Each structure stands twice: as C-alpha cells, then as structure tokens.
C-alpha cells in the first residue's frame, strides 16, 4: 500500500503544499502546527496510542488531563490563543472544561456587571473555579420559555431561593456538570414580588471547594454514557430550596433591587443574546468543514490504497517449491470503482465548500461584531437566520458525509482504529445541540417567509433573500442548458439553484397561508402543520447561499492570483462539481416546477460523472491539502504513508482484550466448558 500511496500522489496535477498553505493562511501556520504536534505528542496526556481503548472513567479523566495540560502549557510557554485553539483541535479530547471555556466565561463577560466580572473572572481564568451552563432540563430543551427551575426572591433575607419543583425540572445535559464543575450559570425562572419574569441567569456554587462534595440541598451527578463525547461529564442537577445571595443574579441587563423590585432589561439585551447564539452557530458552521474534511481525508487515502489483491505473494518458501505464479487478476484500488469515486469526490467538493463557508461565516460574524460595538445591529436578523439555516445544513451534510465515508471503507471502516466511528458518534450531536436542526431550519424559514411577503408587497429586499424580489419574473423562466458541459457554468448553476429556492419559498408561503385560512401566521397550528414545506424552502435557500459562497471564494482567489493556475483550476472543478451535486439533489424540484426538461436533468448526471473522472487523479492531493497531521486524524486507515494494514495490526496488538492469551472469560466461562480436565471434575 505504501507504493500505491506514492503512485497516487505522483498522478496529481497540482501542488498540494501550495493549496494547503492557501487554506491555512500560509506555510508558517502549517509549520507551527507541526511544532504543536511535537509538543502534544511528547506529553503523557497528549499521547493518542490508547485513545480507542479507554473505559468511560479513563476517558473522563483523560479528557480533563488533556485540557488542563494544554492550559498549563499555554501559561508556561506563553502560547498564543491561536496556538491554544490549534492544540485543542489537534488533540481532540473534549473534556469537563468545554463549557467552562465555551459558555461560563463568555456569559460572565456578556451578562455580568463589572463587579461580578471582577469577582468571578480571575478565579475562572486560573481554573480555581470551574463553571458550566445549565439551561436544559429533563423535560424542557428547545422550548426555553417552558423551563421550570425557579429562583424566588425573598425580600426578608435578600436572597433568592432556588428550587427544582418537579422531576421534569431537573437540569440535564450541561457539560462538565456531572463530576467537574464547582459553579453553574443557572437559567431559572425569576419570581420577584410574586410575579414570574421568566428565565434569568444566576451564578450558583454547587460543590464544596475543599472536598468537591455537593453543597447542602444540591443533588448533582453524571447523566450516564452517550453515543459519543463520553470524555465530557454532562450532568444533572436539582435544588432543594437552596439560598443564594441577591448578587448571584447576573445583573448587567435586568436587575432585582434589594426590595425585590424588578428592573427590566433594555431592548438591546435580547439583541445581545441573539448575537451570542449567532456566534455559537457560526463556530458550528466553521467546525463542520473541519470534521467532514477529516473523514474525507481518511476515506480517500484508504480507498486509494485498498486493493482486493496484492500483486504477488512474494513468499520465499512457496517460490522455492517452484509453484507457478499465482494467477491473480490485476486489481484496482477501490477508489477506481465508479460507485466509490462518485461518492467520495462529491464529498471532497462538499468538504471544501464547508471550509470556505466556515471562513466566510466567521468573517461575517466579526464584521457584525465590529458594527455592534458601534451600536449597529442592522444585519442581525439576516445573520441570525443565515447562521441558523447554515448550522442545520452544514451539520446535516457533515454527519451524513462522515457515515458515507465510513461505508466506503468496507469492513475496516467499522474499526474504531479507522477513526471514523468516533468521528461520527462524537459529531452527530451537532445536529441536535444548540438547537435541533429542524428547529434551526424553521428559524431561517421564518425570515424567508417574511421576505416573500415583503417582496409580494413590492418592498425592496436586500441580503441573502434578494433573489425573491424578481421571483415573479422567474416563475416562467426556463433553464438555458443545452449540453452537459453547460452545467459547469456557475451562472447556469446559480440560476437553477435560485429558481428552486424561489419556487420552494413561494410554495411554503402558500401552504402556510392555506393552513391559516388565508392568513400567514408564524406560530401555532398553521405554522406547526406546515413545517415540512418550510424546512424544504429553508434548505434550498441556504444551499443556494452555500454554493454562491463557494463560487465567490474561488473567484476571489483567482482574481487575487492567490493560487497558481493548476491549483486554481482544480479548485474551480471542485466548485463546479459542488454545484452539480446540489442540483442533482434538487432535480425533482427543477423538473416539477418545469424549469428543466428531462434531458437537461439527465445531463446533470452526465456532468457529475465527467467532473468526477476529471478530478480523480487529484483526489489524494486534494485530501492532502487539508494538511491533517497523522497525529490529529489518529486513524489506521487515514495515514499519509498508506501503511494501513500494519497500523491496524499494531493497534489490535495493544488492545486491552489481548492483555492475556486466554482472555477475560477463560476461568469463569470457558474452562468449565472446554477443558477436558476441568470438565471431568464437574
């Protein structure tokens, strides 16, 4: 297989180092990553050799050690934040500090008063307290307004009484809550002077600092094993009339005075909390490309060296015995089978698209952030809708893509050592947390339908839904493609995707209006009865946006001459393939709406085949350009050198089940059955 890997690389028509440097903002960044890999793999907590063999307890301890280890490296080595982020991705060992870093500290920063920040932040940054974010309850997730945990202000003592009134009200899910956190940001329903003000945030200490035991009135524990992410101790939490001081409430926006008077937040508060959501969703969009490209790298490298026979046996004894050469048929790498390459090349295109989308999404967030600091929240509604819709689409694509990659690897893809099962099982939660994907599409749909109505009312439309303003004309436009090659043109591709998006948006609005007896309502029964159409429309809208972004990025790279002609040409072909893949998914809509003829739709398949064939020689170099170090992938099948079988065998040999030859069932179960001596004694 090692020869095969080299041979594959030799076929490439462009320099993968060049594309890698482009994707990673320069060679120095790639070099820095190599240094960090050395640093990590030299640490006991950074060693990945046994990663796939850990028990739940070992995973939990290991994840914590890795995070604490990195944190100490950063302090001692005075590493940059960028280094820290890179290390976290390289080590990929999420632990009980995820929410401390990702939610506890950020919420203090955004919602705490200066005094609260002065009190909590220094300890948080030194890991002298560890926090998490406790919102979801056993019975209440998506529907945040339904939370039941209460914080009732007691004017007499000037304290809040925090309480869990029912089974359903148990907090459930917060990461790091199970065994790690000492504090939580608690979302609880605020009652003051007898009135219910809905969910508010409080800082609550839950464990004793000297013993780590739960404080009186507090029940806390780990929620148990999950499909993946088991190094994180997601937890449950209940309060039995626990008293916390008044200043435990995060009071930057809303307040409760000593007398118990409620001071409502200024209008910007809600905008600020939307902004936080946008930020988190943007990071999920960014990570989607990261995860899909890992899976595609593994599958592409493996299928490029996986042959169903070796060319010859090369066994000396057999040769000495003068056996005739084995008549083994010449054998392909499985990546040469039509079915494998037509699965993997499109996924390569998608991975590139998601990587570009992730960067644009973060750019958009950052420019919003700059505007916001000037008090300008103008793009927020658009950004909120886009980030929700893209969160759903990108995580859907990545989750399905990882599993498709795994399947292409045949039996060996089922081994943890391949890296793919863990990637899938730890990734799929992204389709659910921070807003279930159906609910996310519906957020985007709400925005879309509003724009449809505005367009119908003749109002000007800006931003991502701009195409709706010309929707009336589009309805009887026809596809102008006359040869399969025409489908390569971004103009034809975008026109067709736009048409589908406009058509489905109009359709969904119609369905919604019909369900509401002519009136368009954004909630209640009519809305809930129309969600399938609304979700389809939102998907088409963000799919168009996703492709437009790929086209824009490729064109920008070309016009800035950021890449040589060879690499730039390959990237363009990938972008063309991406468009064709999206259009094939939409082909029944294109046909149903009468935009395409059957022949034109058939040409999409023809063009997909042509593009896949043309890209095939560059498959491995396109994977190489993602530039994942072997350390990061931790995959026997995804090794750059192609030495896959040795890696599988090496990994099996150190599996704990092989600690003894007889195995753990011998004495108790097998010996009484199998051993003649023991059997005769029974």
Ligand X SMILES: Cc1cc2nc3c(=O)[nH]c(=O)nc-3n(C[C@H](O)[C@H](O)[C@H](O)COP(=O)(O)OP(=O)(O)OC[C@H]3O[C@@H](n4cnc5c(N)ncnc54)[C@H](O)[C@@H]3O)c2cc1C
Ranges within 561-590 binding its own copies (CB under 8 A): 587-588
With CB cut-offs between 5 and 8 Å by kind, which of its own copies, ligand X, none does residue 253 bind?
A: none
Instruction: Give the footprint of ligand X on residues 54-73 (CB under 6 A).
Output: none
Measured torsion, CA atoms of residues 534, 538, 543, 549, in degrees rounded to the nearest 10: 170
Among 5, 64, 66, 99, binds ligand X (CB under 6 A): 99
From 336-344, 466-474, 614-622, 635-643, span contacting ligand X (CB under 6 A): 336-344
436 is a site residue for ligand X (CB under 6 A): yes
* Nearest distance, CB of residue 289 and its own copies, angstroms: 21
CB 359 within 8 A of CB 276: no
Distance CA 100, CA 11 (A): 47
Q: Which two tokens stand for residue 61?
A: 């301890």
Cβ closer to ligand X: 135 or 548? 135
CA separation, residue 431 to residues 11, 351, 604 (Å): 37, 17, 29
Instruction: Give the footprint of its own copies on residues 284-343 (CB under 8 A).
Output: 307-310, 313-315, 317-318, 321-324, 326-329, 331-332, 336-340, 342
With CB cut-offs between 5 and 8 Å by kind, which of ligand X, its own copies, none does residue 317 bind?
A: its own copies
* Nearest distance, CB of residue 314 and its own copies, angstroms: 7
102 is a site residue for its own copies (CB under 8 A): no
With CB cut-offs between 5 and 8 Å by kind, which of its own copies, ligand X, none does residue 133 bind?
A: ligand X
How many CB atoms lie under 10 A from the CB of residue 489?
Answer: 14
* Nearest distance, CB of residue 682 and ligand X, angstroms: 30
Please indicate whether residue 662 is annotated as part of the active site: no
401 is a site residue for ligand X (CB under 6 A): no
DSSP-derived 3-state class of residue 137? strand
* Residue labelled with tokens 């971004």: 490
From 112-120, 168-176, 239-247, 248-256, span contacting ligand X (CB under 6 A): 168-176
CB 295 within 8 A of CB 407: no
Among 89, 362, 591, 640, binds its own copies (CB under 8 A): 591
Cβ closer to ligand X: 239 or 487? 239
Of residues 294, 241, 280, 288, the one with CA closest to residue 420: 294
2 is a site residue for its own copies (CB under 8 A): no
Sheet architecture: strand order including 235-239? 171-172, 235-239, 218-222
149 is a site residue for ligand X (CB under 6 A): no
DSSP-derived 3-state class of residue 604? helix
CB 293 within 8 A of CB 626: yes
* Nearest distance, CB of residue 341 and its own copies, angstroms: 9
Establish how many alpha carbons lie within 13 A of residue 633's alpha carbon, considering only the half-sphere containing its beta carbon.
25
Instruction: Give the footprint of its own copies on residues 606-665 (CB under 8 A).
Output: 609, 645-646, 648-649, 651-653, 655-658, 661-665
DSSP 325: P
Cβ closer to its own copies: 233 or 624? 233
> What is the total residue count of the chain?
682
Cβ closer to ligand X: 59 or 573? 59
Residues binding its own copies: what is the number (CB under 8 A)? 149
Which contiguous run of DSSP H or E holds residue 136? none
Distance CA 279, CA 272 (A): 11
Which long-range contacts does 528-534 make (Cβ < 8 Å, 24+ apart)?
A: 531/438, 531/442, 533/504, 533/507, 533/508, 534/441, 534/442, 534/445, 534/449, 534/508
Cα dihedral sign, 82-84-87-89: negative
439 is a site residue for ligand X (CB under 6 A): yes
Cβ closer to ligand X: 25 or 336? 336
337 is a site residue for ligand X (CB under 6 A): yes
Q: Which of 155, 382, 434, 606 is catalytic?
A: 434
Contacts of 421 (CB under 8 A, 6+ apart): 406, 413, 414, 415
118 is a site residue for its own copies (CB under 8 A): no
Cβ closer to ligand X: 360 or 426? 426
Of residues 337, 386, 356, the one with CA closest to residue 293: 356
DSSP 629: -
From 51-59, 129-137, 589-597, 626-634, span contacting ligand X (CB under 6 A): 129-137
CB 471 within 8 A of CB 485: no
CA separation, residue 190 to residues 34, 143, 171, 245, 325 (Å): 50, 17, 16, 14, 82
From 74-82, 194-202, 351-359, 438-446, span contacting ligand X (CB under 6 A): 438-446
With CB cut-offs between 5 and 8 Å by kind, which of its own copies, ligand X, none does residue 255 bind?
A: none
244 is a site residue for its own copies (CB under 8 A): no
Distance CA 655, CA 347 (A): 32
Distance CA 590, CA 497 (A): 9
The CA-CA-CA angle for residues 147, 148, 154, to 5°, reads: 120
Instruction: Give the footprint of ligand X on residues 170-199 (CB under 6 A).
Output: 173-175
* Residue labelled with tokens 């945030």: 201
Contacts of 608 (CB under 8 A, 6+ apart): 342, 346, 577, 580, 581, 584
Among 341, 387, 451, 531, binds ligand X (CB under 6 A): 531
- Closest CB to ligand X belongs to which residue? 141
640 — phi, psi (to 5°)?
-65, -35
Residues binding ligand X: what is the number (CB under 6 A)? 34
Instruction: Give the footprint of ligand X on residues 4-63 (CB under 6 A).
Output: none
Among 93, 133, 441, 550, binds ligand X (CB under 6 A): 133
Q: Which two tokens stand for residue 16?
A: 């993968």
With CB cut-offs between 5 and 8 Å by kind, which of ligand X, its own copies, none does residue 99 bind?
A: ligand X
Cβ closer to its own copies: 78 or 653? 653
From 89-97, 208-216, 403-411, 604-612, span contacting ligand X (CB under 6 A): 403-411
Instruction: Give the footprint of its own copies on residues 411-450 (CB under 8 A).
Output: 411, 413-417, 421, 424-425, 428-429, 431-433, 436-438
276 is a site residue for ligand X (CB under 6 A): no
DSSP-derived 3-state class of residue 398? helix
With CB cut-offs between 5 and 8 Å by kind, which of its own copies, ligand X, none does residue 665 bind?
A: its own copies
* Nearest distance, CB of residue 411 and ligand X, angstroms: 2
* Nearest distance, CB of residue 343 and ligand X, angstroms: 8
Where are the alpha helices (H) located in 457-564, listed in sequence order? 471-474, 490-515, 524-528, 531-559
Distance CA 622, CA 457 (A): 47
* Nearest distance, CB of residue 84 and its own copies, angstroms: 17
279 is a site residue for its own copies (CB under 8 A): no
Measured torsion, CA atoms of residues 399, 404, 405, 410, in degrees rounded to the nearest 10: 140
Instruction: Give the footprint of its own copies on residues 145-204 (CB under 8 A).
Output: 145-146, 148, 150, 152, 163, 165-168, 170, 172-173, 178-180, 182, 189, 191, 194-196
The CA-CA-CA angle for residues 74, 358, 14, to 5°, reads: 95
332 is a site residue for ligand X (CB under 6 A): no
Helical pair 380-408 and 420-427, crossing angle rounded to 10 deg: 150
With CB cut-offs between 5 and 8 Å by kind, which of ligand X, its own copies, none does residue 668 bind?
A: its own copies
Q: What residues make contact with ligand X under the rule CB under 6 A? A: 99, 133-136, 141-142, 173-175, 229, 234, 306, 308, 334, 337, 339-340, 408-412, 414, 429, 432-436, 438-439, 442, 531
Q: Which residues are catalytic?
A: 434
């Amino acid at each position: 297989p090692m020869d095969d890997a080299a041979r594959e690389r030799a076929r490439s028509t462009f320099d993968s180092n060049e594309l890698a440097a482009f994707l990673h903002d320069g060679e120095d960044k790639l070099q820095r990553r190599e240094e960090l890999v050395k640093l990590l793999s030299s640490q006991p907590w950074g060693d990945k050799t046994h990663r796939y063999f850990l028990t739940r307890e070992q995973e939990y301890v290991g994840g914590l050690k890795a995070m604490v280890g990195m944190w100490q490296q950063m302090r001692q080595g005075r590493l940059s934040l960028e280094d820290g982020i890179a290390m976290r991705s390289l080590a990929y060992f999420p632990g009980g500090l995820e929410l401390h870093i990702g939610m506890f500290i950020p919420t203090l920063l955004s919602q705490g008063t200066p005094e609260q920040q002065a009190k909590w932040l220094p300890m948080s940054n030194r890991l002298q307290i560890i926090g998490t974010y406790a919102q979801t309850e056993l019975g209440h997730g998506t529907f945040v307004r339904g939370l039941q945990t209460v914080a009732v202000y007691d004017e007499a003592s000037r304290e809040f009484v925090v309480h869990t009134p029912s089974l359903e009200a148990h907090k459930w899910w917060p990461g790091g809550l199970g065994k790690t956190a000492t504090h939580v940001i608690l979302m609880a329903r605020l009652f003051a002077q007898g009135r219910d003000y809905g969910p508010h945030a409080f800082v609550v200490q839950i464990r004793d600092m000297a013993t780590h035991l739960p404080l009186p009135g507090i029940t806390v524990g780990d929620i148990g094993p999950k499909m993946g992410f088991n190094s994180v101790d997601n937890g449950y939490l209940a309060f039995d009339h626990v008293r916390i001081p008044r200043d435990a409430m995060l009071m930057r926006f809303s307040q409760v005075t000593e007398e118990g008077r409620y001071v409502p937040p200024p209008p910007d508060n809600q905008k600020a909390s939307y902004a936080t959501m946008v930020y988190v969703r943007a990071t999920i969009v960014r990570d989607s490309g990261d995860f899909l490209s890992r899976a595609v790298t593994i599958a592409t490298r493996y299928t490029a060296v996986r042959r169903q026979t070796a060319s010859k046996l090369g066994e000396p004894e057999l040769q000495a015995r003068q056996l005739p050469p084995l008549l083994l048929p010449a054998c392909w790498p499985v990546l040469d089978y039509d079915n494998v390459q037509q699965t993997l090349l499109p996924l390569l295109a998608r991975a590139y698209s998601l990587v570009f989308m992730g960067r644009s999404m973060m750019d958009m967030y950052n420019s919003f952030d700059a505007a916001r600091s000037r008090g300008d929240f103008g793009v927020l509604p658009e950004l909120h809708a886009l980030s929700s819709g893209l969160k759903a689409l990108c995580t859907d694509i990545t989750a399905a893509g990882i599993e498709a990659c795994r399947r292409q690897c045949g039996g060996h893809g089922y081994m943890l050592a391949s890296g793919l099962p863990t990637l899938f099982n730890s990734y799929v939660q992204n389709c659910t947390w921070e807003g279930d994907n159906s609910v996310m599409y519906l957020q985007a749909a709400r925005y879309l339908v509003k724009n449809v109505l505005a367009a119908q009312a003749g109002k000007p439309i800006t931003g991502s839904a701009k195409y709706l303003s010309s929707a009336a004309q589009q309805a009887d436009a026809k596809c102008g493609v006359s040869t399969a090659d025409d489908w390569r043109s971004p103009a034809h591709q975008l026109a067709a995707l736009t048409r589908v998006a406009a058509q489905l948006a109009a359709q969904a609005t119609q369905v919604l209006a019909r369900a509401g007896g002519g009136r368009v309502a954004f909630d209640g029964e009519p809305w809930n009865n129309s969600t399938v159409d609304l979700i389809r429309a939102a998907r088409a809208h963000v799919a168009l946006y996703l492709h437009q972004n790929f086209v824009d990025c490729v064109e920008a790279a070309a016009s800035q001459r950021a890449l040589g002609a060879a690499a730039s040409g390959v990237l363009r072909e990938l972008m063309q393939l991406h468009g064709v893949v999206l259009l094939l998914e939409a082909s029944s809509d294109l046909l149903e709406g009468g935009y395409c003829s059957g022949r034109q739709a058939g040409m999409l398949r023809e063009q997909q085949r042509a593009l896949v064939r043309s890209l095939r020689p560059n498959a491995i170099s396109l994977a190489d350009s993602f530039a994942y170090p072997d350390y990061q992938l931790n995959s026997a099948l995804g090794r750059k050198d192609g030495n896959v079988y040795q890696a599988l065998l090496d990994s099996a040999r150190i599996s704990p089940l092989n600690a003894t030859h007889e195995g753990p069932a011998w004495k108790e179960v097998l010996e009484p059955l199998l051993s003649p001596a023991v059997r005769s004694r029974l």
